[in-house]
Amino acid sequence: MSSQSPSSKRRVILKLSGEALREIGSTDNISPEIVDRMANEVKEAMGSGKVELGIVVGGGNFWRGAAASARGMDRATADYVGMLATVMNALALQGALEHKGVPCVVQSAIEMKNVAETFIRRKAVRHLSEGRVVIFAAGTGSPFFSTDTTAALRASEMSANVVLKATMVDGVYDSDPKKNPDAKRFDRVTFRECITRQFQVMDSTAFSLCMDNHIPIVIFDLQKPGNVAAALMGAEIGTIVDGGD
């Protein structure tokens, strides 16, 4: 395990995909209803007094750098556009949380002081310890890194106890459950197995970073109401990915 939060609270990094903020089939990039539900569940968990929370949000509901690169755009430029997309999602989520009375700050890895704080590790740690939710935007600030890797990096920097990956499936499977009705879901699986078998729930860099820093990952279903709050408060849901010790 990584070093504990200085308080008795559980320090968590929640990874939300950008696609999760869009209603399936809708032309709107951000669903106010989904963002409101996320904010309600975060408020519930924060109200328990047991959680310190950082959130990393993706930008895939607006833009995917790898896809733009495949169509001929310079990859670094495409990734920077994607980083800016995450800032839009972060600000939307911040607005919803503050509307519900949850103290919240956005820190951006790319300086844009008119809309967000610039990421400073020590300042982020202080925000967490003082009860504010910190939303980490703009990825790592460098191209070629996913927001999954950002979540693993921020978890390492914040000495988080766990990374929670909220996704569209209810855990890690040995094959694609959408294609194989007999796919087996793991309750627990090791980092090395995820990397070796190339499970696609997170990228290998994120798995490796969490493995090196002894930070477990929980993969769980975002779509089931109440799951975010339950995961934040330590309920046993989804699949645990760890070192297998």
Tokens 């310190």 belong to: 52
Name residue, tokens 């409101």.
Answer: 36
User: Is residue 146 a known part of a binding site?
Assistant: yes
What is the DSSP-derived secondary structure letter of residue 200? T
| Residue 233 maps to a domain | yes
59 carries a ligand binding annotation: yes
Residue with tokens 């328990």: 48
pLDDT, mean of residues 126-146 = 97
Is 118 annotated to bind ligand?
no
* Both tokens assigned to 196: 């070796």
Is 140 among the annotated ligand-binding positions? yes
* Mean pLDDT over the full length of the chain: 93
Residue 197 labeled ligand binder? no
CA-closest candidate to residue 162, choices 16, 52, 18: 52
The annotation status of 205 as a binding-site residue, yes or no, is: no
109 in a domain, yes or no? Answer: yes
Helix, strand, coil tally for the chain in percent (to 5): 40, 20, 45
Ligand-binding site membership of 101 (annotated): no
Split into its structural domains, the chain has a count of: 1
The model's pLDDT over 180-205, given as tens digits with 9 standing for 90+, comes to 989 999 999 999 999 999 998 899 99
pLDDT by residue (tens digit) across 32-91?
999 999 999 999 999 999 999 999 999 999 988 778 888 889 999 999 999 999 999 999
Say if residues 12 and 45 touch (Cβ distance below 8 Å). no
Specify if 1 maps to a domain: no
pTM: predicted TM-score of the whole model, two decimal places: 0.92
Read off the pLDDT band of 2 (50, 70, 90): very low
Least confident of 23-27, 156-160, 234-238: 23-27
Q: Where are the alpha helices (DSSP H) in the chain?
A: 32-47, 65-70, 75-99, 121-129, 147-157, 191-196, 204-212, 227-232
Query: For the residues 229-241, what does the mean pLDDT come to?
Result: 95
pLDDT in the model for residue 8: 78
Q: What percent of the chain has pLDDT over 70?
A: 97
Q: Is 145 annotated as contributing to ligand binding?
A: yes
Determine if residue 31 is labeled as part of a ligand binding site. no
Residue 15 marked ligand-binding? yes
The verdict on residue 135 lying in a domain is yes
Q: What does the DSSP 8-state code read for residue 4?
A: P
Residue 1 confidence class, pLDDT cut points 50, 70, 90:
very low
The answer to whether 50 is annotated as binding is no
Q: Is 142 annotated as a binding residue?
A: yes
Q: What is the pLDDT of residue 192?
A: 95
Q: Establish whether 129 is an annotated binding residue.
A: no
Two tokens, residue 125: 């740690």
Question: Per the domain annotation, does 114 fall within a domain?
Answer: yes
Report whether 18 belongs to an annotated binding site. Answer: yes
Per-residue pLDDT tens digits for 212-233:
999 999 999 998 999 999 999 9
In terms of C-beta density within 10 A (0-12 exposed, 13-18 middle, 19 or more buried), how is residue 114 classed? Answer: exposed
Q: Binding residue per annotation — 77? A: no
Instruction: Look at residue 16 and tell me if it is in a domain.
Output: yes
86 among the known binding-site residues?
no
Annotation-wise, does 143 bind a ligand? yes
Mean pLDDT of 4-10: 66
The pLDDT confidence band at residue 23, using thresholds 50, 70 and 90, is confident
CATH number at residue 180: 3.40.1160.10
- Max Cα-Cα span within the chain: 51
Q: What's the CA gap between 157 and 120, in Å, rounded?
A: 10
3 belongs to a structural domain: no
Does 151 reside within a domain?
Answer: yes
Task: Please answer whether residues 69 and 78 qualify as being in contact, where contact means their C-beta atoms are separated by less than 8 angstroms.
Answer: yes
Q: Which domain holds residue 104?
A: 10-242
Give the Cα-Cα-Cα angle 189, 34, 164 (nearest 5 degrees): 20
173 annotated as a binding-site residue: yes
Half-sphere exposure of 45 (CA within 13 A, CB side): 27
